[in-house]
Structure 1
Amino acid sequence: RWALLKLVTGSLRVGVSARLAWQAAADYGGVDVPDIQEVWHGQEPPYRDMLAWLDGKGERPQVEAYGRFRPVMLAHPIDEATEMPRLDSADFVAEWKWDGIRIQAVAEGDIRRLYSRTGEDISHAFPDLVEAMDFQGVIDGELIVLHDGQMGSFSDLQQRLNRKTVDAKRMNAYPAGIRAYDLLAEGEEDTRALPFYERRARMEAFIAAVHSSRIDISPLVEIESWDQLAELRASPPAGDARLAEGFMLKRRDSVYEAGRPKGPWFKWKRDPMLVDAVLMYAQRGHGKRSSFYSDFTFGVWTTDETGQRVLTPVGKAYFGFTDEELKQLDKFVRNNTTDRFGPVRAVTATTEFGLVLEVAFEGLQRSTRHKSGVAMRFPRINRIRWDKPAGEADKLSALEQILAAIEVG
């Protein structure tokens, strides 16, 4: 059936992501993916110069292409207990870790492109933002919705994501913007080898000269001590900071190094929100998990129109547990199935009997697509509460209180 549909529609080609091609080339040549990313956009099919280099029969191709993607620098999660005591806070600056999508804005010559963190060209989905890129250089930053200098929520940004085209009404309602973190090139000068404090000073002047309502700069948060920063992280001030996920910590002298080097940059996310929910449905996994029920839908208690306590689904999670815990969860699903819907099984979930899952999540937003009226951001199973009665799991009102606190800021 699939083959016939391909023949009828004339769409025989199966797409391959740029990331997969980069990884294949890197594995073939025994080099790192950032090395491939640096030269990729300067090559033309069939990539003779690059393949000769990977075969050891030629020099590394020169990097000349305008509009090319630069491999991004990433941060390590910081271990508060072991790493923070060894780090001098005076060596670092902090920035809020904004809840958007990491992007790279490249404007060189007459070429203007927006890239995702993995190097996918997403320019077509944000024509309003590409039009605002009236500069010559490369900005590393966060893709956000920006209303008159105020950042929109991640749910606002989702109205613009994963769309092949976008109409004027949606662009006006959810204007895309860039919150700049770093300056990777100014004009034809590559600035990545400069220390962070120099790149930062140049970026501030650069963004000021661009003077666009679509592009602003991520403010620095001075660190008096780790304790002071911990208090700020736990209780951010009103305004855009309430939409941040935590802090980025950057050494003042760090160069911009592709990949995830250990030491220069750290991310210090807020502690996740937690809720106790009851397992309601389970679905078979994929790949090596295809023989296990590993995708779990969970719910919390509410009251129906007759006054009875019922569960309403609030999320789905498929990670956060060990392989041994997966076997235990799979066994529970098989032993307590009450109904089947194709690959999905419903399990016993009453006030008297059910499995409670402690679910961690990064954010909460209102949703018209879910019966509960709420949607979780990045839910995962934090703990399996074999000890807790299902009737003592949380109520929907608990999530509504969290949501109200988020909205108030």
Structure 2
Amino acid sequence: MQRFAQLLDRLSLTPARNGKITLLAEHFAAVPDPERGLALAAITRDLEFTTAKPAMIRELVSRRCDPVLFALSYDYVGDLAETAALIWPARHGANRPPELAEVVESLQGASRAEAPALVEAWLDALDATGRWALLKLVTGGLRIGVSARLAKTALAAYGDKDVTEIEELWHGLEPPYDTLFAWLDGHGEKPVSAAKAPFRPVMLATAIEEADLQTLDPQHYAAEWKWDGIRVQAVSEDGVRRLYTRTGDDISHTFPDVIAAMDFEGAIDGELLVRDGQGGVAPFSDLQQRLNRKTVPKAMLNKHPAFIRAYDLLVEDGKDLRRAPFAERRKRLEAFVAAVPNDRIDVSALVGIESWAAIDALRADPPDPAAEGVMLKRWDSAYVPGRPKGPWFKWKRDPFLVDAVLMYAQRGHGKRSSFYSDYTFGVWREGEDGDELVPVGKAYFGFTDAELKQIDKFVRENTVERFGPVRAVTAGKDGGLVLEIAFEGLQRSPRHKSGIAMRFPRVSRIRWDKPAAQADRIGFLEALLEERFAPGRS
């Protein structure tokens, strides 16, 4: 457990991607089975403990220390695992620190009544870093800046393999991945994927730049709309149907209506969307209501019917098409989808390319508010996993901007746990007693480290109220901090006081020069919503 704790600690403090890969590869080389495989499973979120929840941790800490002290400490630190690890008063004479395998095996076999005693004994036996790692592990809160894809990239670096090979094997493997490590170590054969309807690593696009347009011939590219949903891969092979995200997460259980409609033999790359009441594409917020659910009520299935807008055909009747040129795959895709006997799968329409200027005008003002811009794909491009430069480009519409006033701030997680880095902002509207600010969004990225320190300083010096870990700051006509917010879209939201929710808001810059009284008003966003994002706009 101590080695796992040291790994997590170093990963959380290492911002560079290559640095994280090196740390993981070194850990895989130094730590034996099954410890390294369990560490990998924890990082890729493939371990789950149903008997250990945050409420249990709070209960354990409340037995050992003054609850008021814990509440004040938690309020300051902003992270449950970190607070509990630091404040825990360990008892002398505790047993040896547990190994990671011992923790995993014991908790997975424990009942809900047995789990607290196990966790309490381990907390006594570990130091502060070990306690932090233990609590992160058992509550599933491993926010250390390592995605499942990055962990697989580290495996590839460790074993000198192509990450694509590992991704295509992944869904047929189980923790602690003994056969995988044996292959990577050169001591065993390459595992044969036991997964039916496996995930194929996706091909990604790069953002186009002005310099690219000067060198590219529009006749070499197909253009299609880029839709505002989530990228998925729908695989139906040998009687097994699965729906994957772009990172390979299986979300089949969340979209049974889509799974039922996958009456084909092959693998489709596309966008998961939800239909509105008129048969068009609903706002992303409707799709969002269906994400991350273990079960979906029938009423929600009827209210927000999901469907796939297909981009590409990877496999057809057992034949792998990924090496074929896009022109051929596209032709096959159209015929393939036409043969599917339902309306849950359609094909993303192509956009005629007359010139880059014409495409620029279309991507800047798409005819459908659910279109984020256009995708450009070379007609002769193979389907290559990763993000190769040149074959595919994404050309999104420019973000919209609004000047908003900072209203609330909350501490972040991980390396940001000591900074106020999550910001809620609002715009002006006319209230019963004059102008008032109403929240329109929340952002936690877009700013530099230097700007983070500046905003954090403002929050600490201008806090007017405290609500647990949240701070309300000075925000009025006579004082306040204006943030220029960039966002991708707007939608109606009865859950928000303003009636509006933003899509992908982020801090574009700090407007130190602008008085809070001159920030934008809600009417600006309402007009923009009606003009650019209203359903059925054409």
Alpha-carbon shift at residue 175 of structure 1 (Å): 1.2
- With the length of structure 1 as denominator, give the TM-score of the two structures: 0.92
CA contact (8 A) 1:364 1:376 kept: yes
Report the Cα distance in structure 2 between the residues aligned to 1:44 and 1:322, rounded to whole angstroms: 39
Please tell me the residue identity of whatever aligns with 1:251: R
CA contact (8 A) 1:18 1:120 kept: no
Partner of 1:2: 56
Please tell me the residue identity of whatever aligns with 2:442: K
Q: Is 1:117 aligned to residue 171 of structure 2?
A: no
Partner of 2:529: 403
Per-residue CA distance 1:8-47 (angstroms, 9 max, x = gap): 6369666699657645633542445332111223446664
CA contact (8 A) 2:173 2:194 kept: no
**Helix, strand or coil: the match of 2:339?**
helix
**Helix, strand or coil: the match of 1:74?**
coil
Report the Cα distance in structure 1 between the residues aligned to 2:269 and 2:223, rounded to whole angstroms: 16
Report the Cα distance in structure 1 between the residues aligned to 2:215 and 2:189, rounded to whole angstroms: 42
Alpha-carbon shift at residue 59 of structure 1 (Å): 4.8
- With the length of structure 2 as denominator, give the TM-score of the two structures: 0.71
Per-residue CA distance 1:100-147 (angstroms, 9 max, x = gap): 111111100110111111111111111111111111000010111136
Partner of 2:455: 329
**Helix, strand or coil: the match of 2:155?**
helix
CA contact (8 A) 1:50 1:61 kept: yes
Instruction: Mark the runs of 5 or more structure 1 residues left unpaired by the alignment.
Output: none
Please tell me the residue identity of whatever aligns with 1:316: K
Partner of 2:309: 179
Report the Cα distance in structure 1 between the residues aligned to 2:191 and 2:340, rounded to whole angstroms: 33
**Helix, strand or coil: the match of 1:242?**
coil
Report the Cα distance in structure 2 between the residues aligned to 1:271 and 1:365, rounded to whole angstroms: 17
Q: 1:329 to 1:46 in 2, by over 3 A?
A: closer
Alpha-carbon shift at residue 161 of structure 1 (Å): 1.6
Report the Cα distance in structure 1 between the residues aligned to 2:177 and 2:493, rounded to whole angstroms: 47
Q: Which of 55, 69, 77 in structure 1 is aligned with 2:207?
A: 77
Report the Cα distance in structure 1 between the residues aligned to 2:153 and 2:240, rounded to whole angstroms: 26
Q: Which of 406, 421, 443 in structure 2 is aligned with 1:317?
A: 443
Alpha-carbon shift at residue 359 of structure 1 (Å): 0.4
Instruction: Mark the runs of 5 or more structure 2 residues left unpaired by the alignment.
Output: 1-54, 61-106, 116-137
CA contact (8 A) 1:146 1:214 kept: no
Report the Cα distance in structure 1 between the residues aligned to 2:523 and 2:397, rounded to whole angstroms: 23
Report the Cα distance in structure 2 between the residues aligned to 1:176 and 1:53, rounded to whole angstroms: 40
Report the Cα distance in structure 2 between the residues aligned to 1:400 and 1:11, rounded to whole angstroms: 54
Q: Which of 383, 398, 404 in structure 2 is aligned with 1:271?
A: 398
Q: Is 1:139 aligned to residue 268 of structure 2?
A: yes
CA contact (8 A) 2:365 2:397 kept: no
Q: Which of 24, 45, 66 in structure 1 is aligned with 2:196?
A: 66
Per-residue CA distance 1:323-344 (angstroms, 9 max, x = gap): 1111111122222222222222
Alpha-carbon shift at residue 373 of structure 1 (Å): 0.9
Report the Cα distance in structure 2 between the residues aligned to 1:11 and 1:74, rounded to whole angstroms: 46
Please tell me the residue identity of whatever aligns with 1:334: R
Report the Cα distance in structure 2 between the residues aligned to 1:294 and 1:329, rounded to whole angstroms: 8
Q: 1:278 to 1:227 in 2, by over 3 A?
A: same
Per-residue CA distance 1:276-322 (angstroms, 9 max, x = gap): 0011111122211222211111111112213x111111111111111
Alpha-carbon shift at residue 89 of structure 1 (Å): 1.0
Report the Cα distance in structure 1 between the residues aligned to 2:527 and 2:114, rounded to whole angstroms: 49
Q: 1:345 to 1:42 in 2, by over 3 A?
A: closer
**Helix, strand or coil: the match of 1:9?**
coil
The structure that is strand-richer by fraction is 1
Per-residue CA distance 1:42-86 (angstroms, 9 max, x = gap): 44666454323211234544557431111111111111x222111
Alpha-carbon shift at residue 182 of structure 1 (Å): 0.5
Please tell me the residue identity of whatever aligns with 2:309: R
The structure that is helix-richer by fraction is 2
Please tell me the residue identity of whatever aligns with 1:356: V
Higher Rg of the two aligned structures: 2
Q: 1:210 to 1:321 in 2, by over 3 A?
A: same
Q: Aligned residues, how many?
A: 404
Q: Is 1:189 aligned to residue 319 of structure 2?
A: yes
Partner of 1:94: 223
Q: Which of 237, 243, 259 in structure 2 is aligned with 1:108?
A: 237
Percent identity over paired residues? 63
Alpha-carbon shift at residue 389 of structure 1 (Å): 1.0
Report the Cα distance in structure 1 between the residues aligned to 2:470 and 2:335, rounded to whole angstroms: 56
Q: Which of 385, 392, 395 in structure 2 is aligned with 1:258?
A: 385
Q: 1:324 to 1:256 in 2, by over 3 A?
A: same
Report the Cα distance in structure 2 between the residues aligned to 1:11 and 1:397, rounded to whole angstroms: 56
Report the Cα distance in structure 2 between the residues aligned to 1:65 and 1:279, rounded to whole angstroms: 49
**Helix, strand or coil: the match of 1:262?**
coil
CA contact (8 A) 1:98 1:243 kept: yes
Alpha-carbon shift at residue 211 of structure 1 (Å): 3.2
Q: Which of 494, 514, 517 in structure 2 is aligned with 1:388?
A: 514
Report the Cα distance in structure 1 between the residues aligned to 2:161 and 2:385, rounded to whole angstroms: 13
Alpha-carbon shift at residue 399 of structure 1 (Å): 1.0
